[in-house]
Amino acid sequence: MQEDKKTVVDKLTKKIAKYEPDRRKALTKLQIKEVLAVIIGGGCWKLAGFFYDTLSNLYIFFGLISIIATIVFFINLDNANKDFKEFLKKKCTSLIKKEFGLKSIKGTKYDKQTLIDSNLFSNFNELVYDDIIEGCHNKVPYTIAEVNIAHQGQKSYIQVFKGVIISFKSHKKINSHTLITTKGDTQIRNYPPAINILLFMFIFGVILPMILFPFIFAISFKDLLKLIDFPQILLQITTFDVLSTLMLVVIIGFVLAAYITQKRKMQDVKLEDNIFEKRFNVYAQDQVEARYLLTPTFMERYKSLETAFGTKKIKCAFFDDQIMFAIPNKDDLFELGSLYTKQSSRKAVGKFYDELKSVQEMIDHFKLNEKTVL
């Protein structure tokens, strides 16, 4: 019989309380580093000011050292906290696995191709994982991964998704692909990141016409062209010719943008639940199977997930005999404590319990362990 929340939280709190001396030691070490960073940064700033009017090279040197010391000061705060959180998880691994029925808290990363196949994200080339939890609840295997997905260009960085990806093995046979997304979510179906599409359309629809406008203006005044000795062949070009060419370029630009956004097109699925349709888009390769999967009961449960996870952009995919949810969240999840909080505090442990249990309850919520319809 599963233990209740209070019992589990008490056990974990008692366990991590043993590491309060380690927390204090790590905090003292951090404080020493920060004091040194302040002394070095402040001292170099003073020296930079001293050499401001005399030796420019020394002014730049000490100024840079001061800036670097300031950056190191803030980086230390974050890194020290992350290191301590990892220390706590490592020390509590056995107890966490036992109490929550987990296989691992350092599980296998999702294969990049699996995430591409899910169609839950726009085009990406960078994956950074944090926690990866693997477990089995009511005979249903599941994986939870905290991940940051991004598109890294030569001069750009676009965050495609940051949050939790949860996948379950489906007992129901899935022959085709069905996707549920929140209205307005453009970071899906392996499209280029939304900002790239908007930039593409802006260049062809706004910037290019602005660049060509002076030429249109000049051609409409042929006497002016004669004065600046334009090639005679250009004098044969009419304003209409330039305008029609410009319009063609703009149209091609928008057509290309539309083509990009519609590639890998799936069918829009219309459902009987009007409230669901107002909040979510449903795409499918097979409309019949989509309606078989998205029963009225499933849709009611899905709508309630937004409240449970405190987010408005939850999305889900049925593919390759699995169900995958992507739940955006900017905060770190599944944390047992912090370097800056006493280890006798139950708040972080209680939050850890609620976050992990909410995922396990999704199996019961959607009745994923049953081979009947959802």
DSSP string, 77-136: HHHHHHHHHHHHHHHHHHHHHHHHTEEESB-PPPPHHHHHHHT-S-S--EEEEEEEEEEE
Confirm if 143 and 132 have CB atoms less than 8 A apart: yes
What's the pLDDT band for 221 if we cut at 50, 70, 90? Answer: very low
Average pLDDT rounded to a whole number, residues 281-298: 85
Q: Are strands 157-169 and 178-182 parallel, antiparallel or unpaired?
A: unpaired
Average pLDDT rounded to a whole number, residues 190-196: 63
- Is 68's pLDDT higher than 60? yes
pTM of the model: 0.69
- Is 28's pLDDT higher than 90? yes
- Is 245's pLDDT higher than 60? yes
Range with the lowest mean pLDDT among 92-106, 224-238, 302-316? 224-238
- Is 25's pLDDT higher than 90? yes
What's the pLDDT band for 239 if we cut at 50, 70, 90? Answer: low
Average pLDDT rounded to a whole number, residues 354-366: 79
Average pLDDT rounded to a whole number, residues 219-242: 50
**Where on the phi/psi map is residue 310: left (φ > 0), alpha (ψ -120 to 50), or beta?**
left
- Is 257's pLDDT higher than 80? no
Average pLDDT rounded to a whole number, residues 67-93: 89
Q: Spell out where the chain has E strands.
A: 102-104, 126-137, 140-152, 157-169, 178-182, 267-268, 280-284, 315-319, 322-328
- Is 210's pLDDT higher than 70? no
Q: What percent of the chain has pLDDT over 70?
A: 75
Quick one: 164 exposed, middle or buried, by C-beta within 10 A (0-12, 13-18, 19+)?
Answer: buried
Q: What confidence score (pLDDT) does residue 199 get? A: 54
Range with the lowest mean pLDDT among 34-48, 100-114, 239-253, 324-338? 239-253
Q: What confidence score (pLDDT) does residue 202 get? A: 56
What span, in angstroms and rounded, lies between the C-alpha atoms of 131 and 150? 17
What's the pLDDT band for 207 if we cut at 50, 70, 90? Answer: low
Helix (H, G, I), strand (E, B) or coil at 260: helix
CA atoms within 13 A on the CB side of 40: 17
Q: What confidence score (pLDDT) does residue 297 get? A: 81
Mean pLDDT over the full length of the chain? 78
Average pLDDT rounded to a whole number, residues 320-334: 83
- Is 2's pLDDT higher than 60? no
- How is residue 91 written in tokens? 């020390």
Tell me the chain's radius of gyration from C-alpha atoms.
29
- Is 232's pLDDT higher than 70? no
Q: What confidence score (pLDDT) does residue 237 get? A: 52
Q: Give the residue carrying structure tokens 């670097």.
A: 68
Q: What confidence score (pLDDT) does residue 219 get? A: 47
Q: What confidence score (pLDDT) does residue 268 get? A: 81
Determine the length of the chain.
374
pLDDT in tens, 114-149: 999 898 998 888 998 888 888 888 888 889 898 999
Q: What confidence score (pLDDT) does residue 224 get? A: 46
